[in-house]
Amino acid sequence: MFGFSKVQSQFRFSEKKPLIRKIFTLLTVTILVACNLPSTPAPVATNSPVPTKSVPPTAAPTETPLPHTTVDASTMQHKLLMGYQGWFTCQGDGSNTGYLHWFKNNTPDAANFRVDMWPDASELTPDERCATGMKYPNGETAYLYSAYNPKTVMRHFQWMSQYGVDGVFVQRFGSELTDPIHFATRNVVTQNARAGAESYGRVFSMMYDTSGMDSSTFVSILEKDWKYMVDELKVTESPAYLHHNGKPVLAIWGLGFTEHPGTPEQAMELVNFFENNPDPKYQVTLMGGVPTWWRILQNDSLTDPAWADFYCALDVISPWTVGRYRSDMEVDLYKLTMVQDMAAATECGAEYMPVVFPGTAFHNENHSNLFNDTPRRGGNLYWRQVYNAVSIGAPMIYNAMFDEVDEDTAMYKIAATKDDQPVGVDLVSMDTDGYKLPNDWYLRLAGAATQMLRGEIPLAKNIPIESGAVAPPTPTGTYRIRIQITTTSDWAVLTLNSGGTLINPELVSVSPEAINLGASGNRFSIGQPISRANSGSSIELVVDVYLTALQAGAPLQFVIESGAIGSTTVKLFNYIQDAPIEAGTLVLYDMSKMFSVPAEKFISP
């Protein structure tokens, strides 16, 4: 998915509640304890149990599928569904697309490798292997795969069955639909996915990605292609095709995003075509992959108020959040937004499908991007998102992505160590963050996440399955401190510029009116609507965090920045003992100021 690195009748609209603009105005975070949202009851599971240990590698998929169970294709309820890019091809695989997505310039060497992870290739058979000019540390040739090969895609669905993954949204890129070669390739990949889903009892659905499409033609292209999918490929006739509320499920990703095609009027035209089509065979339950800030029409969302009508007209609303947070605290802060998003979706008559992801980076495509930009932290980043989604009662989850090694969100089997990767290129492996993990760790996590979503295992804030890995040790010389930021400005940022490093932030409390919250590395941010700031109202953020990597004899250099309105006060607390003790107060009346604080204030009671 490209991103920031993705009606039951003709009277469907009258069945929805009237659009109430106030739910799309600048809603702010709500304290979770006040929400008390009930979770929906979990149905009886039909999936395979989650393996307690890694599954041994299997031979090539057999003509007769391995024993498996069958997922209920009639509903999205209590399902964790992944995105399936299927966009990887190789020279000589029959697709005539070369090394699509693997390499730049169609040159299969380390200098042109464009993805950030190396898929585990140990199970590929000779007729699946795509030779490259890359070498493993032992000098052997490094092989890749092609999603054009039905055997490889069959294995992917075999994995889904083995690990208890319900199924996938097969991506269909609108920008490729007018190119005969790419159009044919996408059709083959779709048929491969269909065969895999049918063989292994998984579900599949289609997801259009509008990235890169022409604003003047994208509506007609998508409408024409859906008719082709229904009439020619007959995807909705598959027993494995996902349905919800009695209709086939179709997703469109990208409408409403900044720098993406379309107007609100065009988006509503698509809604009307898919939800209210006079020919019932083309009608769908329409899911929208929408901007993170769809509800307030800011940041990654286009700001025309008419976009609110489109978002509210969807059957399922799924805000894209890949890359939006790094720390558990940032995930928890976003949980406050999720509660309001789900309430807003319900007000519209829609269902809510949050997005979770394991980590992300986009370094090899563009080396100006950070390597391992959003670390996976052994699965802890992923699991906290799943926990939060389930704890607020989300009925379904979209998992980015099964196979996207481009942006480092892949959940399938990945090289476990550097020895399992080719040399000459920076790649994220399972042990990059200091955790020694098996290559199938994220498939196992996804299976456990699915079980927790269905209520088959208890709600768990920490990963409930064992990997056998030992977490990286906590750095020596680590001290807990508390930071309290209070401001009457519209925004304020506190940064530790030098003298030490802040790690593992934990949210203590936050004002319910706060927005634009952040906690990443040495930087903490908070904001409020400018109307509140102009009235002199204050907001507060309290965080416990760990101070480490102190520089001998050097003070801690903090910088406070804020908007031009009001003032900002930062209180720092020594928290070595049972209760925090105030160690210093920093006050900013201007827009930026540096403060020097002796480190000794925090390293002893």
Contact in structure between 526 and 558 (CB atoms under 8 Å): no
- Round to whole Å and give the CA distance between 255 and 263: 8
- Round to whole Å and give the CA distance between 289 and 211: 12
pLDDT at 530 over 50: yes
pLDDT at position 105: 96
Closest residue by Cα to residue 536 from 595, 572, 488: 488
pLDDT at 49 over 60: no
pLDDT at 221 over 80: yes
pLDDT at position 1: 41
pLDDT at 30 over 60: no
pLDDT at 14 over 80: no
pLDDT at 44 over 60: no
pLDDT at position 480: 95
- Specify the CATH superfamily of domain 12-37+80-453: Glycosidases (3.20.20.80)
With residue 206 as reference, give the H or E element that holds it: strand 203-209
Q: Which of 15-19, 501-505, 581-585 has the lowest mean pLDDT?
A: 15-19
pLDDT at 188 over 50: yes
pLDDT at position 245: 98
Q: Which amino acid type is present at position 141? A: T
By the 10 Å C-beta count (0-12 exposed, 13-18 middle, 19+ buried), 474 is classed as exposed
pLDDT tens for each residue of 369-425: 999 999 999 999 999 999 999 999 999 999 999 999 999 999 999 999 999 999 999
Q: What is the DSSP string of 279-341?
A: SGGG--EEEEEE-TTTTTT-TTB---TTHHHHHHH-SEEEE--TTS--SHHHHHHHHHHHHHH
Q: Which residues lie closer than 8 Å to 425 by C-beta, 6 or more apart?
A: 110, 111, 113, 134, 364
Closest residue by Cα to residue 166 from 447, 575, 571: 447
pLDDT at position 472: 76
The confidence band for 129, taking pLDDT boundaries of 50, 70 and 90, is: very high
Contact in structure between 320 and 334 (CB atoms under 8 Å): no
pLDDT at position 324: 94
Average pLDDT over residues 487-491: 97
pLDDT at position 317: 99
pLDDT at position 61: 75
pLDDT at position 43: 32
Average pLDDT over residues 64-73: 91
pLDDT at 38 over 60: no
Average pLDDT over residues 198-225: 98
How is residue 63 written in tokens? 């003509």
How is residue 420 written in tokens? 């399992």
Average pLDDT over residues 195-204: 98
pLDDT at position 521: 86
% of residues, the chain, pLDDT over 90: 84
pLDDT at 537 over 90: yes
The confidence band for 15, taking pLDDT boundaries of 50, 70 and 90, is: very low
- Round to whole Å and give the CA distance between 521 and 542: 16
Q: Locate the domains of the chain by residue range.
A: 12-37+80-453, 479-602
Average pLDDT over residues 293-305: 96
Average pLDDT over residues 520-525: 92
pLDDT at 33 over 80: no
pLDDT at position 321: 98
How is residue 358 written in tokens? 């394991």
pLDDT at 22 over 60: no
Distances (CA, A) of 442 to 53, 84, 378, 412: 12, 15, 9, 7
Cis peptide before 452 (omega within 30 of 0): no
Q: What is the largest CA-CA distance in the chain?
A: 76
pLDDT at 492 over 90: yes
pLDDT at 254 over 80: yes
By the 10 Å C-beta count (0-12 exposed, 13-18 middle, 19+ buried), 181 is classed as exposed
Closest residue by Cα to residue 227 from 187, 278, 281, 182: 281
Contact in structure between 401 and 84 (CB atoms under 8 Å): yes
Tally the residues of the chain: 605
pLDDT tens for each residue of 561-584: 999 999 999 999 999 999 999 999
pLDDT at 47 over 70: no
- Round to whole Å and give the CA distance between 320 and 303: 17
pLDDT tens for each residue of 335-351: 999 999 999 999 999 99
pLDDT at position 67: 86
For the entire predicted model, the pTM comes to 0.86
pLDDT tens for each residue of 448-485: 999 999 999 999 999 999 887 667 777 778 999 999 99
